Amino acid sequence: MIGFVYVNFWPSGYKSVSLDETGEFALPLPLRPPEPQETLTGEDLARARDRARVLSARSRSSRWFLLWLLVGPGILAMLGENDGPSMISYAATGAAYGLGFFLPFIVVTFAMAIVCQEMCMRVGAVTHRGYGQLILERYGRAWGWLAAGDLVFTNLVTLIAEFVAIRVGLAFFHLGAGVAALLGVALVLMAQSGGRYWRWERIVLGLAVFNGLFLLSAVLVKPSVGHIGHALLTFSPLPHGSFNEILLLLASTIGATVTPWMIFFQQSASADKGLTPHDLAHGRIDTVVGGVLAAIFGCGALVAGAALLGHGGASVDGLAGAGFPEALSHVDGNTVGALFALGLIEAGAVAILTISASTGYAISECTGASSSFNRTLREARSFYSANVLVAAIAAAVILIPGVPLLAIALNANVLATVLLPVTLVFMVMLANDRQLMGRFANGPFANLAVGVTVAVVAVCGAAYGIDSFLSQLHLIG
């Protein structure tokens, strides 16, 4: 086995340092020798140290330590999507309709998410480029900026909803909007102060562990295990209600599972982490584990919310005042309410960190600026500034009197569903580009699975949008 450090110099000028454990180049892209004046940067050296640890673990057959070194982007993307609005949406669905159709539907949507996110990881590991940079390079500046602009708008709306969710959680402990705004921005500043992607990733992973509070809340409401098993195995028909309401439920559930920011984030984070094609197996484990954990915790929020079924659950206003945490404390005790409230704070906090990062990646990649947590503040001003600025704007919005926070938060997931198909289509095109991906391009099964996912997302989003438009014109009832 040959192990050495080499520097890849891409046609775009992007540099990355990695280790080739087999003595072969990791990527099927053309390389050019370094120009004499080019030197290794702090980013290069930081990534080289990370890859050296991976090489050492692989050479010693330290499987668990190797897995520990390589996991991160997949788990963060999945648990970051278990954000505040998503968990409130699951709880509200459980409170209004019980388990029935939606418990297995959450599992199905996370299976769809795993298919999509595996592609993101694979493209990032093979090309060492983020999603925004590849769109710009392969399809032109117009499409690159359109993708970035679409993401920034969606992310801003979603971040406002995350701050609202933190506000809801803090309200249970009698803390106000100012504390929520300060907490969110402070977390962004703290997490990115380490000057290393590895440190940022481990800080956010440490917070993401507490997404399990929703599962603990579900256990404490003492649900019927038989009822849960029956719901998972039978896939009950859709609940009764207006066509528009059912479409809203489907669209918001899909938008709580697969969103554009996840695609930007996982591909860029995989590149920032320094993953190579040698790491694809571990990247898939990372993505699958993240999807399984997120599905379990999301189902936990649904089960906890279902405890309010028959107790006025359908009328609980989850985003005003203390909402669901307060309602759960009245039905199942203060401990359950407190755990659910803490879960909302965690869900909002992790989502703020990951969504802000995806915004920084997108803006920096499309402008050609440095986009890595391995860079210093001076070296990557636009990247770090975008991270903080988008979070600060969202924090400021929740402090403005009269802003329709409830409407923004409730529609954040639906907006993500409507805008997702375009992002997914570009991802499929990148993953099928054999000039770019070589032998790591999509196979027939992957294309079939993602094709079904795109079709489901597009139909649900388009049907809800058309039905809502026709309803507003009073052309349908």
DSSP string, 319-383: TSTTHHHHHHHHHH-HHHHHHHHHHHHHHHHHHHHHHHHHHHHHHHHHHT----TTS-TTTTHHH
Residue 445 CB partners (closer than 8 Å, separation 6+): none
CA atoms within 13 A on the CB side of 232: 13
CA gap 55, 48 in Å, rounded = 10
What pLDDT does residue 209 have? 95
CA gap 174, 165 in Å, rounded = 14
Largest distance between two CA atoms of the chain: 73
Tokens read off for 161: 């909803």
CA gap 244, 414 in Å, rounded = 12
Would you say 95 and 314 are in contact if contact means Cβ atoms under 8 Å apart?
yes
Angle at which helix 197-208 crosses helix 42-59, to 10 degrees, equals 60
Q: Burial level of 28, CB count in 10 A (0-12/13-18/19+)?
A: middle
CA gap 259, 246 in Å, rounded = 20
**Which DSSP letter does residue 12 get?**
T
Q: Report the chain's C-alpha Rg in angstroms.
A: 22
Tokens read off for 80: 């970051």
Residue 286 CB partners (closer than 8 Å, separation 6+): 70, 71, 72, 73, 74, 75, 121
CA gap 60, 69 in Å, rounded = 14
What pLDDT does residue 36 have? 46
CA gap 212, 431 in Å, rounded = 33
Domains of the chain, residue spans:
1-68, 71-472
Tens of pLDDT, residue by residue, the chain (477 residues) = 344 343 443 333 344 433 344 433 344 444 444 444 456 677 778 888 888 899 899 888 888 999 999 999 999 999 999 998 889 888 888 888 888 888 999 999 999 999 999 999 999 999 999 898 899 889 888 888 888 888 888 899 899 999 989 998 998 998 988 999 999 999 999 988 777 899 999 999 999 999 999 999 999 999 989 999 988 888 888 777 677 777 777 877 887 788 889 999 999 999 999 999 999 999 999 999 999 999 999 999 999 999 888 665 555 554 444 578 888 888 888 999 999 999 999 999 999 999 999 999 999 888 888 888 988 888 888 999 999 999 999 999 989 888 877 677 767 777 787 778 888 889 999 999 999 999 999 999 989 988 888 888 888 777 766 766 666 665 555
Would you say 106 and 298 are in contact if contact means Cβ atoms under 8 Å apart?
yes
What pLDDT does residue 475 have? 59
Would you say 372 and 43 are in contact if contact means Cβ atoms under 8 Å apart?
yes
Strands 4-9 and 15-20: antiparallel
What pLDDT does residue 368 have? 82
Give the number of residues written for the chain: 477
Would you say 347 and 84 are in contact if contact means Cβ atoms under 8 Å apart?
yes
With tokens 């406002």, the residue in question is: 160
Sign of CA dihedral 458, 460, 463, 467: negative
Query: Collapsing DSSP states into helix, strand and coil, what is residue 191?
Result: helix
CA gap 269, 121 in Å, rounded = 8
What pLDDT does residue 383 have? 92
Tokens read off for 188: 């962004």
Alpha carbon separation from 141 to 96, 138, 187, 365, 421 (Å, rounded): 46, 9, 33, 11, 20
CATH code of the domain made up of 71-472: 1.20.1740.10
